Amino acid sequence: MKSDAPLLSRRRFLRHTTRLGACVSAAPLVLRHSLLGADAPSKKIVLGMIGMGRQMMALNLKPFLESPDCVVAAVCDVDAWRLEQGLQAVQRFYASKKTSGQDNRCRAYKDFREIIARPDIDAVFISTPDHWHAPMAIAAVKAGKDVSLEKPITRYVNEGRLLADLVRDRQRIFRVDSEFRSLEPFHRAAELVRNGRLGRLHTIRSGCPREVFPAEPEEITPPPPELDYDLWLGPAPEVPYIQKRVHPPKDLKSRPGWMRNLDYCDGMITNWGTHLNDIAQWANDTERTGPVEVKATGTYHQGKVWNVLESFDAWYRFANGVQLFYQMGEPHVRFEGEKGWIQVNYIADRLSPERLKASDPAILREKIGPGEIHFPLQSEKTDFIEAVKTRRPTIEDAEVGQRTTSLCHLAHIAIQLGGVHLRWDPDRERFENNDAANQLLNRPPLRPPWKLE
């Protein structure tokens, strides 16, 4: 279905959403009619869901459908089969709840620009391949929408700075959709560390899972008829269709191939690194700044299509003297201080005693007093919904997302340059005296523009 709003051309869209370093003027907070009238915050937040793939359908859509504060009014995907699955899921849910009018209110779109052009859409949730994250979020913020964005929120440091500044200047609500601050063991560890239960913190160790590279065909074939491959590529380089670049057709369970290709994703170093290192930054009280030194080494998979890192080791030093060691292995974060250590392991079994451990179990029984630092503990979806309604900042906003994602990018840049030792200025977000490293902060040139049907 088409909206009545005119579409931007691809050339204009990509120029405006990726003109990094351009000046952005501040805009006053303007609440749309849906935030002031019958669908006011105390009623319903009107949502558009962009990207109806595995993550959206398995984890992201349901909480918003079940929220009494939201109505999902639009779904979007460049894959017509996935789009239909998303639309049917929304319609089935509202029909089962006999929610008057909502089961037939949701509309389906191939092009996300049609969603952000709708004046009745208050907020969007973006769950697409990583190469689309920042361009879509920037366009949505410019259109006056609040945004919840899957991590990692960027592919490049400079586009993250543009996004974070836009969110601040346009007074939009933004949430990094990472659930780790909502997981009790990580939340508990961060509170204990921030409240000095380990004494002076000196070392943090984090790990992300190892990448898996199963054997699959690598032949060039025509794209499946349901996929608009040109629109899927978007700002990425124009290359022939190979299924391993994209996702298995008519499949919402398998891990998509784009997660292993550097045209669309940086791999595990940012995919899981933005989970675990966000907790590291949170507990270290550096979530709005960054390290001052970084060095890293790694090796890349040598496949025809899959080429992300298959191993790496990274080291950082912060201005407060804390060192962070980050490597590929088991997903965890460990805090070491003068009074002991706390380690949180990512284990699906919520009853496992291995999820949260300490050098002395008494550390974990410590109470956080009323005059100490307390972090909210709620789901990332609830945090976003409440922030949209109240206009308060989210627990993991755009600036936090920029700093955590950048932390991962810095190590990846050091690896790309052969394992160099880099000095970083977190205030200027520039490397000191290394032009080659600074060039890698910037998004490369975009491919020639295309025209939307």
pLDDT at res. 103: 52
pLDDT at res. 349: 84
Query: Structure tokens of 45?
Result: 């937040």
- Separation CA 272–CA 404 (nearest Å): 11
Question: pLDDT band for position 329 (50/70/90)?
Answer: very high
pLDDT tens per residue across span 196-250:
999 999 999 999 999 999 987 789 999 999 999 999 999 999 999 999 999 999 9
**Average pLDDT for residues 37-58, to the nearest whole number?**
81
Backbone angles phi, psi at 325, to 5 degrees: -110, 120
pLDDT tens per residue across span 172-206:
999 999 999 999 999 999 999 999 999 999 999 99
For residue 140, pLDDT beyond 80 = yes
Cα-based distances in Å from 113 to 3, 95, 345, 396: 10, 27, 40, 25
| Side-chain-side CA neighbours of residue 172 (13 Å) | 29
- Separation CA 438–CA 347 (nearest Å): 37
Backbone angles phi, psi at 211, to 5 degrees: -75, 150
Query: Structure tokens of 337?
Result: 């201080």
pLDDT tens per residue across span 12-25:
444 444 333 333 33
Question: pLDDT band for position 35 (50/70/90)?
Answer: very low
Query: Structure tokens of 369?
Result: 């007093």
pLDDT at res. 421: 97
CB 107 within 8 A of CB 84: no
Tally of CB atoms within 10 A around 360:
12
**Average pLDDT for residues 395-419, to the nearest whole number?**
98
- Separation CA 259–CA 245 (nearest Å): 8
**Average pLDDT for residues 132-148, to the nearest whole number?**
96
pLDDT at res. 448: 56
pLDDT at res. 450: 38
Give the CA dihedral 449, 429, 136, 172, nearest 10 degrees: -140
pLDDT at res. 43: 79
Q: Which helix (H) or strand (E) holds 405?
A: helix 398-416
Query: Structure tokens of 385?
Result: 């919904």
With pLDDT > 70 as the criterion, what percentage of the chain qualifies? Answer: 88
- Separation CA 93–CA 445 (nearest Å): 42
C-alpha 158 chain-centroid distance? 16
**Average pLDDT for residues 392-421, to the nearest whole number?**
98
Q: Which helix (H) or strand (E) holds 83?
A: helix 80-97
Is the four-CA dihedral 272, 276, 277, 281 of positive or negative sign? Answer: positive
pLDDT at res. 39: 41
- Separation CA 130–CA 199 (nearest Å): 38
pLDDT at res. 10: 42
pLDDT tens per residue across span 109-125:
999 999 999 999 999 99
- Separation CA 157–CA 408 (nearest Å): 10
Cα-based distances in Å from 116 to 30, 121, 371: 15, 7, 43
Question: pLDDT band for position 447 (50/70/90)?
Answer: low
pLDDT at res. 445: 72
Strand partners, 358: 342
Query: Structure tokens of 244?
Result: 């391993």
Is the four-CA dihedral 272, 398, 394, 121 of positive or negative sign? Answer: negative
Sequence-distant contacts of 199-203: CB under 8 A, at least 24 apart: 199/337, 199/338, 199/339, 200/337, 200/338, 201/283, 201/284, 201/322, 201/335, 201/336, 201/337, 202/321, 202/322, 202/323, 202/336, 202/337, 202/338, 203/322, 203/323, 203/324, 203/325, 203/335, 203/336
Question: pLDDT band for position 104 (50/70/90)?
Answer: low
Give the CA dihedral 410, 415, 420, 425, nearest 10 degrees: -10
**Average pLDDT for residues 294-308, to the nearest whole number?**
96
C-alpha 444 chain-centroid distance? 20
pLDDT at res. 99: 64
Q: Decide: helix, strand or coil at residue 144.
A: coil
